[in-house]
Amino acid sequence: MKSYTEFYIGNEWVKPSSTDQLSVINPFTEQVIASVPEGKEADIDLAVSAAKEAFDRGPWPKMAPSERAKCMTQLSELLKANADTIATTVTSEMGSPMSFSPGGQAFAPIMVLDYYIELADSFPFEETRQGLLNPVKVFREPVGVVALVTPWNVPLFTIMSKLAPALLAGCTAVIKPAPETPINAFLLAELVAQTDIPAGVINVVPAERAVSQYLVSHPDIDKVSFTGSTIAGSKIGAICGEHIKRCSLELGGKSAAIILDDADLDTTIPNILPGAFMNNGQACAAQTRILAPQSNYQAIVERLAEAVSNMVVGDPMEATTQIGPVFAERQRERVESYIQIGLDEGATIATGGGRPKAFDKGWFVEPTVFSNVDNTMRIAQEEIFGPVIVVIPYQDEAEAITIANDSDYGLSGSVWTQDVDRGVNVARQVRTGTYTINGFAMDFGSPFGGYKKSGLGRELGPEGLQVFLEYKTVNLPA
């Protein structure tokens, strides 16, 4: 895999201020496969200054949205032409299986970009209203220079969920990708360089946590859009609060899939698995708490355990693989420590729980189902971020909703039933940002984000554009 030696700043490849490097390790081979320079404060200063220059004096914020959309279309076409490379790059960087990567890692970001390109024509960037006194114009203007700080699990998708609306809004951006998965962001930069997007609009500098914190604290950053852990989001939110910076936070989750007593188990069991184990269980919106009616609890546990034990674990480059390795050795340690916590808490392993015997390398954890779980247990409350689900019994529908809501998080969720109206009624009562009846879905034209400690603000849909805009009211004479 290609390594990089320079940052992308102001449409140029710029030498780093230090010789420190970030190594990219393939979680299947455990080998270093590439390296990139590690951003330091001086590199961040350069990137922010390029973005500020582009915002203050460049053409981008003043261009019509439709003109910006033309440049974004060039980027979309280049991304489409490179979709295969993007998918295999992300799989090599973090191990998501190729049964998921072409759609989830490569095409999903392109769909998001295309959605915002389309929105350019219909979104009301300016409107005239009759105010209480006089007519007013309401302008929606770009919020300014934005810092986009993203995680490793769906690296390009999380970048694009921020970058596409930021670009359409007229913002300029410093992208700070996760230090473990920077290559896809450098690929993006190479494609940006081939478009007419003006200098300084998009800058890419990967960095570790301390330098990332320097970026979000930077006085010339007007808004931070962050996706990552709730603990880091809390810190970043505090920094933004102190400086009155605009801030959007997309954080963790522990979403509940409620299997109602009328669910057809023949379709429910296989269809629940992708939402639970997608991306090797490393998905913020993963449905990792399965709530099952007490009356049918043992049967549901047995059927889930059987289906999960049949999932294909293996080389993430194989299209038939459903579960690859988790993204890092430290992540495997984390997942394994939660498996031990579950056992110590008195839960039972219905399947999995160990490392697959077939591999002598690769950071694998067997897909695991815990039964006899109480919602107060740590394995039911904390985000494990690996291929581990828990099955929790409930007495009746009201208790299922109570358990679903008994969580610090509120990002996603689902209900499984033959009665769609009943499902919608459950959806109304669960305090979470995205809900699906009989499935797991994310609609990129609709808002996505978290209640409670799952975040602040929304991405995707028109709502995901609003957070990159300021409102200006201009009072007109009568």
The answer to the question of residue 150 lying near ligand NAD (CB under 6 A) is yes
- 34 forms beta bridges with 24
The answer to the question of residue 209 lying near ligand NAD (CB under 6 A) is yes
Q: What are the C-alpha distances in Å from 282 to residues 94, 386, 388?
A: 10, 5, 10
> In sequence order, which ranges of 218-296 are alpha helices (DSSP H)?
230-243, 265-277
Three-state DSSP at 22 gives strand
User: In the complex, which residue's CB is closest to ligand NAD?
Assistant: 228
Q: Which of residues 371-400 bind ligand NAD (CB under 6 A)?
A: 383, 385
The token duo for 179 is 């230090």
Q: Is 169 exposed, middle or buried (0-12, 13-18, 19+ CB in 10 A)?
A: buried
Q: Pick the closer one to ligand NAD by CB: 17 or 229.
A: 229
Q: What are the C-alpha distances in Å from 130 to residues 140, 241, 471, 474, 477?
A: 17, 34, 16, 12, 11
Told to judge if 250 belongs to the known catalytic residues of this protein, a careful annotator would answer yes
Q: Pick the closer one to ligand NAD by CB: 140 or 223.
A: 223
Strands 436-437 and 413-416 turn out to be parallel
Report the nearest approach of ligand NAD to the CB of residue 272 (Å): 19
Of 284, 336, 366, 397, which is the active-site residue?
284
Q: Which of residues 308-367 bind ligand NAD (CB under 6 A)?
A: none
- The residue range among 72-80, 113-121, 230-238, 304-312 that interacts with ligand NAD, by the rule CB under 6 A, is 230-238
- Answer for the pair 199, 50: CB distance below 8 angstroms, yes or no: yes
Q: What is the CA radius of gyration of the chain?
A: 23
The answer to the question of residue 228 lying near ligand NAD (CB under 6 A) is yes
Report the nearest approach of ligand NAD to the CB of residue 455 (Å): 6
The answer to the question of residue 288 lying near ligand NAD (CB under 6 A) is no
- Residues touching ligand NAD: how many (CB under 6 A)? 30
Nearest CA among 270, 259, 220, 253 for reference residue 422: 259
Told to judge if 284 belongs to the known catalytic residues of this protein, a careful annotator would answer yes
- The residue range among 51-59, 79-87, 127-135, 209-217 that interacts with ligand NAD, by the rule CB under 6 A, is 209-217
The answer to the question of residue 158 lying near ligand NAD (CB under 6 A) is yes
The answer to the question of residue 409 lying near ligand NAD (CB under 6 A) is no
Cite the beta strand spans of 102-254 per DSSP E.
126-130, 135-142, 145-149, 172-176, 202-204, 223-227, 246-250
The token duo for 430 is 């669960």
**Number of neighbouring beta carbons within 10 Å of residue 21:** 16
Q: Pick the closer one to ligand NAD by CB: 28 or 385.
A: 385
The answer to the question of residue 279 lying near ligand NAD (CB under 6 A) is no
The answer to the question of residue 253 lying near ligand NAD (CB under 6 A) is yes
Site string for ligand NAD, 179-198 (x = CB under 6 A): x-------------------
Q: What are the C-alpha distances in Å from 264 to residues 43, 177, 395?
A: 56, 42, 18
Of the residues 276, 284, 347, 365, which one makes contact with ligand NAD according to CB under 6 A: 284
Q: Pick the closer one to ligand NAD by CB: 371 or 434.
A: 434
Report the nearest approach of ligand NAD to the CB of residue 306 (Å): 28
As annotated, the active-site residues are 250, 284
For ligand NAD, the binding residues (CB under 6 A) are 149-154, 158, 176, 178-179, 209, 212-213, 216, 227-229, 232, 235-236, 250-253, 284, 383, 385, 411, 450, 455
